[in-house]
Amino acid sequence: MDPMEAIRATFFEECTELLETLEAGLLALQAGTHDTDTVDAVFRAVHSIKGGAGAFDLTDLVAFAHEFENALDGLRNKRLPTDASVLAVMLRAGDQLGDQVTAARDGYKLAPDTSELKKLVSTETPTHAAPESLSQPTSADATAPEFTPITLDIELDSDFSPAVGTRRDSEKKNPKDWLINFEPLPDLLASGNEPLYLFRALEVLGQINVEAIDSDLDLLDNLDVAIPRLRWKIVLNPTAGDLTETEIENVFEFAVDLCVLKIDSAQPESAPPKSKNDTHSANRVPPPKCDTEIPGSIIDDSISASPEVVQAIPPNSTPSAVSASIRVDLSRVDRLVNLVGELVISQSMLAQEVSTAGLNKHSEALTRLDDLQQLTRDMQDSVMAIRAQPVRSLFQRMTRIVRETAQATGKSVQLVTSGEETEIDKTVVERLADPLTHIIRNAIDHGIEEATIRDQTGKSPLATVRLTARQSADRVVIEVSDDGRGIDRPRVLARAIERGLVANDAVLNDSEIDHILFLPGFSTTNSISKLSGRGVGMDVVQKSIRDLNVTVVIASEQNKGCTISISLPLTLAILDGMVVRDGNQRVVIPLSAIVETQIEASARIEALDKNRRLALLHDQFVPVVDLSEGMGFCKTSETERAISEQDSALLFVTSDEGGTFALRVDAIEAQRQVVIKGLDESFGRVPCVSAATILGNGQVALIVNPAGIASRLGLDRQITLGTKFEKPLNG
């Protein structure tokens, strides 16, 4: 990749992080935090985005970030109050900044709207208060004494280096000498300037004759090497006739207030524009007689200009907890994850070999193997922890969604989050963004009532959407709940019937009606459609997390609100599964999908007809599906089936779409942790297969996605359509 392209990519990556920092900071301020560290971090985030954007000439982004920075500076310097209305503007500006970053990244134009920020800045109250808590007042400090102008500014558009200075060819006068008096002040050397280098830079401009004036030299014993004692007189015979005083000054630009510099044309009559230069010189060069006082006065000025500021930020005033962290390329972590996966496989192969080797149960080898097993597992956990990420950043993103949706619907909604520190696999975090966005939009758009209705029902006008995350056993549950009207079941059902998703005469229980929300093609779009109902329904939620081995549960209570829980595996790399055999195929069924297993011989099975059988699970009959039929592979021979029948078992699996059904397999072979190996892109997608794994004996086995089987056989439709399978023969 072109290095600049790579840096550009880095920039946008960094922007994402900075935007998160920004939002987190603003939200902390909104929540009542008032420490300067937070304000500084927020300011710095915008500042860094501006800095990087400038480097890539992203003018709109720079322009917006600049206005934003101005406003934040007001916050930082207490010219703006940290109140709700100011923060609301800041948060919206943060959103817009994010949009500008996206526009810049994707190369489209988005006119920055800075009106709100400008208006905010115009309300700033000028303050003369000592900026004790502020790190850097950028505006001129009113209390600072007047001091002699010091030309520290480097003109952006003037050439910095004499070597690259441009010359006007029109003036071809005879080169005239320049006289330069250069008298270092005591600080010159200590600031990293070296007269010799300056002379070398001068040499680029022409021939120089340097004379050292050593009249100030003290006795050797009194000499301090750090303090310059020599003064210099330089005669410069320029190569180009039109050399200007500015070009000479440029050489000294970093030393300009650390020395007394006097530049004179040797031929006064043809000197460059006199008046301006004289003012310059007069300002900088003191009358010769006062030499000894000048250094002090200049230094004093610069110190007195900012004493309180200097004290305001002692170098280590921000001992904020420094998290010892390193940045590691994700691909390296993935490689490690893969290697540990291989280790797990090879360890289980070894275990299998050992178990068949007929060793004594108490043999040393088996004990050591147990140790190895334990270590491998610990190692696996540790590696997984590297990929784990708190859901905080995901939750933060949702605050914007809430804000925007609330604004668009004219409802007032607060987002309350908890469990942000809960960690899940990075990939999962990323994949959850869309579904959560959808759920939250839906909750606000459809779930939360208009203010008047809330008032009538005695609810607070400020609606609440709660977003929580918690870990339970090996899964993480993320919940979105609102305090709105709850799911309007009669309406949902009516609509589903209208859309042909449910049979006219269907009798569905509450939970089944609630889950209609997730059916493709279902969308109660007769309200604000540009938000939650933009042609796609909640089925997007299902789709985007389908292969994450998740379960989604809806709980709704009339007028109390609705809760949608998404339960996810902790990791996408390891799966607790049951290794089963059907025909000559071995596959792995995720343990999380299995609710119960029964030996076929002792199960109660009713035949509906030649091809359809039902099995009793507690008080309900569910369809029985042969695994081979469900997955679409053929059993090699009838004899094989006959032989295996004695071990055959029913695995009652449940999927959100397909409800519960029984998978009939020839045999259950083992229950174990397997390492998930993603199927390469080159394999076509088969809905009933989610991934593959390598078994202890080295054999490759597919990991089954029960929901895929359900949809392949149309179980999901049968169930939701309320046909025979939906409420099978009770008892």
Partner 1 sequence: MKVLAIDDSRTIRDMVRFALEREGIDTELAEDGQDGIEVLDRLDPKPDAILTDVNMPRLDGFGFIEKVRERAEYAGIPILVLTTESARDLKLRARAAGATGWIVKPFDPARLVGALRTVTGLS
Give the integer Cα–Cα distance in Å for 627 and 706: 10
The H or E element spanning position 217 is: none
Kindly state whether residue 10 participates in binding partner 1, applying the rule CB under 8 A.
Answer: yes
β-strand partners of 607: 613
Kindly state whether residue 180 participates in binding partner 1, applying the rule CB under 8 A.
Answer: no
Give the integer Cα–Cα distance in Å for 314 and 133: 11
For residues 408 and 528, the answer to whether their CB atoms sit within 8 Å is yes
Kindly state whether residue 191 participates in binding partner 1, applying the rule CB under 8 A.
Answer: yes
Interface mask toward partner 1 for 13-52; x: CB under 8 A = xx-------------------------xx-xx--xx-xxx
Q: How do 667-675 and 561-569 pair as beta strands?
A: unpaired
Interface mask toward partner 1 for 102-141; x: CB under 8 A = ---------------------------------xxxxxxx
Contacts of 628 (CB under 8 A, 6+ apart): 582, 583, 585, 634, 635
Backbone angles phi, psi at 82, to 5 degrees: -90, 60
Kindly state whether residue 642 participates in binding partner 1, applying the rule CB under 8 A.
Answer: no
Hey, what are 437's tokens?
């966005």
Kindly state whether residue 223 participates in binding partner 1, applying the rule CB under 8 A.
Answer: no
Buried b (16+ CB within 10 A) or exposed e, 270-291: eeeeeeebeebeeebbbeeeee
Give the integer Cα–Cα distance in Å for 402 and 465: 8
Kindly state whether residue 494 participates in binding partner 1, applying the rule CB under 8 A.
Answer: no
How far lies 636's CA from each of 610, 631, 641, 646, in Å?
21, 14, 9, 18
Kindly state whether residue 164 participates in binding partner 1, applying the rule CB under 8 A.
Answer: yes
Kindly state whether residue 85 participates in binding partner 1, applying the rule CB under 8 A.
Answer: no
Kindly state whether residue 296 participates in binding partner 1, applying the rule CB under 8 A.
Answer: no
Chosen residue from 33, 143, 148, 161 binding partner 1 by CB under 8 A: 161
Chosen residue from 35, 197, 270, 342 binding partner 1 by CB under 8 A: 197
Hey, what are 194's tokens?
């070296």
Kindly state whether residue 498 participates in binding partner 1, applying the rule CB under 8 A.
Answer: no
Using alpha carbons only, how large is the chain's radius of gyration in Å? 37
Kindly state whether residue 6 participates in binding partner 1, applying the rule CB under 8 A.
Answer: yes
Give the integer Cα–Cα distance in Å for 578 and 673: 8
Please state the closest distance from residue 296 (CB atom) to partner 1, in A.
14
Kindly state whether residue 142 participates in binding partner 1, applying the rule CB under 8 A.
Answer: no
Interface mask toward partner 1 for 53-72; x: CB under 8 A = -xx-x---------------
Give 255 or 710: the residue with its C-beta nearer to partner 1: 255
Site for partner 1 in 503-522 (CB under 8 A): none
Number of other CB atoms surrounding residue 519 within 10 Å: 20
Please state the closest distance from residue 508 (CB atom) to partner 1, in A.
54
Give 305 or 605: the residue with its C-beta nearer to partner 1: 305
H, E, C per residue of 166-199: CCCCCCCCCCCCEEEEEEECCCCHHHCCCHHHHH
Kindly state whether residue 326 participates in binding partner 1, applying the rule CB under 8 A.
Answer: no
- DSSP helix/strand/coil, 12: helix
For residues 208 and 234, the answer to whether their CB atoms sit within 8 Å is yes
Under rule CB under 8 A, how many of the chain's residues touch partner 1?
A: 70
Residues 313, 315, 318, 320: what is their CA dihedral angle, to the nearest 10 degrees? 180
Kindly state whether residue 184 participates in binding partner 1, applying the rule CB under 8 A.
Answer: no
Give the integer Cα–Cα distance in Å for 433 and 399: 12
Give 140 or 290: the residue with its C-beta nearer to partner 1: 140
Give the integer Cα–Cα distance in Å for 648 and 605: 13
Which residue type occupies 61? Answer: L
Kindly state whether residue 325 participates in binding partner 1, applying the rule CB under 8 A.
Answer: no
Contact region for partner 1 (CB under 8 A) — 90-98, 229-237, 305-313, 502-510? 305-313
Please state the closest distance from residue 305 (CB atom) to partner 1, in A.
5
β-strand partners of 13: none
Give 43 or 621: the residue with its C-beta nearer to partner 1: 43
Please state the closest distance from residue 110 (CB atom) to partner 1, in A.
20
Chosen residue from 111, 129, 179, 190 binding partner 1 by CB under 8 A: 190
Phi-psi region of 598 (alpha: psi -120 to 50; beta: other; left: phi over 0): beta
Kindly state whether residue 330 participates in binding partner 1, applying the rule CB under 8 A.
Answer: no
Chosen residue from 63, 110, 227, 305 binding partner 1 by CB under 8 A: 305
Kindly state whether residue 253 participates in binding partner 1, applying the rule CB under 8 A.
Answer: yes
Chosen residue from 101, 251, 340, 651 binding partner 1 by CB under 8 A: 251
Give the torsion sign (CA, 355, 360, 365, 370). positive
Kindly state whether residue 416 participates in binding partner 1, applying the rule CB under 8 A.
Answer: no
Query: Which residues contribute to the site for partner 1 (CB under 8 A)?
Result: 3-4, 6-7, 10-11, 13-14, 40-41, 43-44, 47-48, 50-52, 54-55, 57, 135-141, 144, 150, 152-154, 156, 159-161, 163-164, 187, 189-194, 196-198, 200-201, 226, 251, 253-254, 257-258, 299, 302-303, 305-306, 309-310, 313-316, 318, 320, 322
